[in-house]
């Protein structure tokens, strides 16, 4: 860090005594030093936005976001998954994103916003996945309101360490529906994460 401060001070001193011919070289040096100085600082990105849940949507979440199966293994694991599932399914129901009229880019931003809740085995630093946002898969639903949960079904355990289900969202304004499938996985340390979400 001391070396960086010294380089910046040296850059300022050289600029004060430089001729016009040296200015391009100094500008390039200045840009490089500023880039180095900013390394490691958080980079600002678009803020991800979500609509606020109405009382009707909250009720649909509290009554419909629960297993509809007799499989006791699912009920046992569901207790541990509820906080994560409510967050993930809530994002599907209410997520809009920072880009007006660009649903596909917003679904990439939604994937990025999930960060620590995504299965590390499916993360790829060279590629961002997409996360389905129900409002972008309707034609007439108002993009400024959440969708409610109509029902959940297809509750299964594809493997010992996973649990999956499908949520059907409904627009109270247009009656359009969107189905989104979710797959959750438990890691070795006992933490549940989202492995996949797809239409």
Task: Give the whole-angstrom CA distance, residue 199 versus residue 190.
Answer: 27
pTM over 0.85: no
Q: What element of type H or E holds 162?
A: strand 162-170
Q: Where are the domains of the chain?
A: 2-38, 55-198
- Where residue 97 falls among pLDDT bands split at 50, 70, 90? confident
User: Tens digit of pLDDT for each residue in 118-155?
Assistant: 999 887 656 667 899 999 999 999 999 999 999 999 99
Greater model confidence, 154 or 16: 154
Tokens of residue 112, six digits? 């990025």
- Categorise residue 195: left if φ over 0, alpha if ψ from -120 to 50, beta otherwise: alpha
Tokens of residue 81, six digits? 């998954």
Class level of CATH domain 55-198: alpha beta
Task: Give the whole-angstrom CA distance, residue 136 versus residue 133.
Answer: 6
The DSSP output letter for 25 is H
Contact 192, 130 (CB under 8 A): no
Task: Give the whole-angstrom CA distance, residue 197 versus residue 199.
Answer: 7
Q: Which of 82, 81, 114 is closest to 95 using CA atoms?
A: 114
């Amino acid at each position: 860090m001391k070396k960086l401060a010294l380089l910046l001070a040296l850059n300022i001193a050289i600029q004060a005594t430089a001729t016009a011919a040296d200015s391009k070289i100094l500008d390039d040096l200045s840009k490089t030093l500023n880039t180095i100085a900013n390394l490691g600082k958080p980079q600002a990105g678009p803020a991800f936005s979500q609509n606020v849940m109405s009382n009707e949507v909250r009720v649909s979440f509290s009554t419909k976001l629960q297993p509809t199966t007799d499989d006791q293994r699912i009920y046992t694991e569901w207790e541990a998954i509820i906080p994560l599932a409510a967050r993930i399914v809530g994002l599907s129901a209410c997520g809009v994103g920072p880009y007006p009229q660009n649903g596909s880019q917003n679904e990439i931003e939604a994937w990025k916003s999930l960060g620590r809740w995504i299965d590390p085995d499916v993360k790829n630093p060279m590629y961002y996945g997409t996360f389905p946002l129900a409002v972008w898969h309707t034609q007439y639903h108002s993009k400024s309101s959440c969708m409610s949960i109509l029902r959940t079904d297809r509750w299964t355990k594809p493997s010992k360490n996973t649990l999956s289900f499908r949520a059907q969202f409904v627009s109270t304004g247009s009656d359009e529906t969107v189905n989104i499938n979710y797959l959750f996985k438990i890691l070795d340390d006992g933490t549940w994460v989202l492995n996949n979400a797809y239409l």
